[in-house]
């Protein structure tokens, strides 16, 4: 990408999209286009076609998606598979028909089998059953990968796919009903601290292990890959290290300054036992994560205090 290349970031207000825009701007890219969901409904084929025809972007970061944690995935499976399939199909097809030079599709590590060998390699895709709690979302993301590969094969496009591990950072979703585990815990521990609540409940046994990557690290990785990587093979993006939910809860409690007790509700689902990605491919391509988990947690909590605590979601 040249600094003046026209770059479209789909999903620019979300956790991933906003981090990509911050990184592009920091690195001097000046011709970035984006639309809010009110201005452009990516599930609407006609609106997407019109946007691409009018704007003619040269590069596309497809970070728009309907995302959520275990509760949201369990309660709204039809929404997750439908909306994600529609968004991907519309954007990828419009990118092809309008001659986009390169598109980067953001998937998720939930595409890998529930019991995939750890750490999860890119070639474990479609080798076993998916985790039931987010299967509709995972199937949509797998379809996006296969769509990119199929368009490359049939039309000679340059569409690449990346699989980030669990992400967190500015513009994360801190809603307790629909968020992922890390932002939900930040919210829970903060509210317990403010209300002097003696215990904080954490879902499950605390034993599952998860890997977490700060969103600004991910943004740096995808811009690096957009500029350096061409190929059909998907690329994992992660830290290469994981942590148990119990350890994560303890770290967040410490970051927030909560000194009560952590209680694990073992009647609630754990999800997959472990999700660590193999980062051999991206490391061999010349990129590695830079922001340690503890630093990322401090930055994420600071952002929460500055934006969420002061918003209408505030408990005060």
Is 133 annotated as contributing to ligand binding? no
Is 166 annotated as contributing to ligand binding? yes
Distance CA(5)–CA(3), nearest Å, equals: 6
Please say whether the beta carbons of 262 and 146 come within 8 A: no
Residue of 34, 59, 112, 137 with catalytic role: 137
Is 104 annotated as contributing to ligand binding? no
Is 85 annotated as contributing to ligand binding? no
Is 164 annotated as contributing to ligand binding? yes
Is 190 annotated as contributing to ligand binding? no
Is 107 annotated as contributing to ligand binding? yes
Name beta bridge partners: 263: 201
Distance CA(29)–CA(187), nearest Å, equals: 34
Is 203 annotated as contributing to ligand binding? yes
Is 103 annotated as contributing to ligand binding? no
137 carries an active-site annotation: yes
Is 106 annotated as contributing to ligand binding? yes
Burial of 183 (0-12, 13-18, 19+ CB in 10 A): buried
Is 115 annotated as contributing to ligand binding? no
Maximum CA extent, the chain: 60
Q: Which long-range contacts (CB under 8 A, 24 or more apart) does 188-194 make?
A: 189/249, 189/252, 189/253, 189/256, 189/258, 190/256, 190/258, 190/301, 190/304, 190/305, 190/309, 191/315, 192/258, 192/260, 193/256, 193/257, 193/258, 194/315, 194/316
Residues within the annotated binding site for substrate? 188, 203, 210, 270
Would you name the residues annotated as active-site residues?
Answer: 137
Residues within the annotated binding site for NADP(+)? 11-17, 106-109, 141, 164-167, 180
Residues within the annotated binding site? 11-17, 106-109, 141, 164-167, 180, 188, 203, 210, 270
């Amino acid at each position: 990408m040249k600094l003046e290349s026209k770059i479209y970031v789909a999903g620019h207000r979300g956790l991933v999209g906003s981090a990509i825009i911050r990184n592009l701007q920091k690195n001097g890219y000046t011709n970035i286009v984006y639309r809010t969901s009110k201005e452009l409904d990516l599930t609407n084929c006609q609106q997407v076609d019109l946007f691409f025809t009018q704007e003619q972007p040269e590069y596309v970061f497809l970070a728009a998606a309907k995302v959520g944690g275990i509760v949201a995935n369990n309660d709204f499976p039809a929404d997750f598979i439908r909306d994600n399939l529609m968004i991907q199909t519309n954007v990828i097809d419009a990118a092809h028909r309008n001659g986009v030079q390169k598109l980067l599709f953001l998937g998720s590590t939930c595409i890998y089998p529930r019991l995939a060998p750890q750490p999860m390699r890119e070639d474990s895709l479609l080798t076993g059953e998916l985790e039931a709690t987010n299967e509709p979302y995972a199937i949509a993301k797998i379809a996006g990968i296969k769509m990119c590969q199929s368009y490359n094969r049939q039309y000679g496009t340059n569409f690449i796919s990346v699989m980030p591990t669990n992400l967190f950072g500015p513009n994360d979703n801190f809603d307790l009903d629909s968020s992922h585990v890390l932002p939900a815990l930040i919210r829970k521990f903060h509210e317990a601290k403010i209300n002097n609540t003696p215990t904080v409940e954490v879902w499950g046994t605390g034993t599952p292990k998860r890997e977490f990557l700060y969103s600004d690290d991910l943004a740096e990785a995808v811009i690096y890959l957009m500029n350096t990587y061409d190929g059909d093979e998907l690329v994992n993006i992660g830290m290469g290290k994981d942590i148990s939910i119990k350890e994560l809860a303890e770290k967040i409690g410490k970051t927030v300054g909560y000194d009560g007790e952590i209680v694990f509700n073992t009647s609630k689902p754990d999800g997959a036992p472990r999700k660590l990605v193999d980062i051999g491919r991206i490391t061999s391509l010349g990129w590695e994560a830079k922001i340690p988990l503890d630093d990322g947690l401090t930055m994420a909590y600071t952002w929460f205090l500055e934006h969420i605590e002061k918003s209408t979601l505030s408990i005060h």
